[in-house]
Structure 1
């Protein structure tokens, strides 16, 4: 049976094994859809990716991104983790930006010291959320609907709904009923109070997936939230988001608006390297 090079990496944390893990299969061009989905289901990670030869002009590599139950056109921590693995295998990596081909098109990635960052793709859906849906979300989160300061669709592949609460403390106190959130991807954020929360980040984020789980650190959600929060003046053009706190993770997502681009970045480290048989 054929064997493949494999890495499992940790994304969005400077502390080993306190970010979001990603499984990456290298040179997966001869695997079919069913094999990719079966392996992603077996790893049971939030995402598993497969590195392939590019098809689009200007792309350095192509990636396919799978959750345990479906393929995604784009996701953030798989983008940075896949780029990290591709760079570790590349005979001659480009000096400037790296271009990833994925289901959502071409995504630009840059190296910024120890961090990698991707340019947030355009939102596929934005704008206000229907009040009936907000009422359902508030009930599922166990809060009054009046606690929601603002909300917006922030879909950029995954169909995230962004919800703003008054404070980090409010975000950390949530105890969601996942049965009531079934089928929704909801990202909740709240501002840090420097006097109480410290100054190593500015916004706390939690991501509740449509699989009934909480995601440790989520690039696609943070990209969509950044476009909404910066665009509406809620957040400054550069900030750090903390995520995964209630899961004993130490995720840190660095957001920077440069010109028309919003860059979403973090550190990546390889934790497991070897081969697998499929």
Structure 2
């Protein structure tokens, strides 16, 4: 039997945020066994903790959707780092620095406990890269059950594909009402994701004051909808910097609220670090709540 731990991530409140499964002693498991466990647990992501390749690092981790392994993800990084820090069960405040080895590269994480609240912030292992655009607003709208007028924001007018480990089709939506009405719809959805070359779409609304509302759909990846998607926010940082949202130098902070329509409100913080007019780093932060500890069979 394997130890199994769960957290709700990107929230301070139990039963909100994005649920995460952690297998803390995964050495000896094969890739096939990890995939079976991720499919059995059927959460948006399951993270497996192994001995690091570099002794100075805290752990090597592998992250799985129910149907596939992915190179990097936000809420597993936050939740796993908070768990490994030991701060959840420690009396008083504290701070821990660590590096997690992910398939996309080493990920530095800072974990803090202040007044009983445990949070973490990681630096994305790769900078976001634009892969393409989807100028067909009609197809995009039909794929989501929306009208063409529902697509666009003050930030960007048409969907774009960005990658930072995982890739996402980032779709601007004009209002919260349109965001709430959006649903992947049949053959047009299949055509849209095929044209984009990605199975995951992240919709966003600009609420002003550096705050955004979002939803993420990835039914082909085994996640019909995701309550919080930190890696998508990393790619979104690239889109924002590309369209001149940030100042040329220094940090721009944004907040993203996701999962509201699912009843799993999540709060994701991001820092976009600009140097000489270019995006130099993306840092993603949030809290997590320990939910359960148990055991699961080895496949």
TM band (smaller chain): 0.7 to 0.9
Change beyond 3 A, Cα 1:235–1:252:
farther
| Partner of residue 111, structure 1 | 111
| Partner of residue 209, structure 1 | 218
Residue 150 of structure 1: SS of its match in structure 2? coil
Contact 1:163 1:189 in 2 (8 A): yes
| In the alignment, structure 1 residue 272 sits paired with structure 2 residue 276 | no
* Counterparts of 2:286 and 2:186, CA distance in 1: 28
Structure 1 gaps, min length 5: 195-200
1:114-144 deviation digits (Å, cap 9, x = unpaired): 3211112324641541435x54332211234
Q: TM-score, normalised by structure 1?
A: 0.86
* Counterparts of 1:178 and 1:214, CA distance in 2: 16
| Partner of residue 241, structure 1 | 256
| In the alignment, structure 1 residue 141 sits paired with structure 2 residue 144 | yes
* Counterparts of 2:134 and 2:293, CA distance in 1: 46
- The one of 201, 213, 219 aligned to 2:230: 219
Contact 1:15 1:250 in 2 (8 A): no
Q: Cα distance, 1:174 vs. partner?
A: 1.9
| Partner of residue 76, structure 1 | 74
Stretches (4+) displaced over 6 A: none
Q: TM-score, normalised by structure 2?
A: 0.80
1:218-259 deviation digits (Å, cap 9, x = unpaired): 111112112322442336811211000110111000112346
Contact 1:167 1:193 in 2 (8 A): no
Residue 14 of structure 1: SS of its match in structure 2? coil
| Partner of residue 91, structure 2 | none
Structure 2 gaps, min length 5: 89-93, 194-198, 275-279
Contact 1:165 1:189 in 2 (8 A): yes
| Partner of residue 181, structure 1 | 189
* Counterparts of 2:31 and 2:2, CA distance in 1: 16
RMSD: 2.6
Q: Which moved more, 1:104-113 or 1:164-173?
A: 164-173
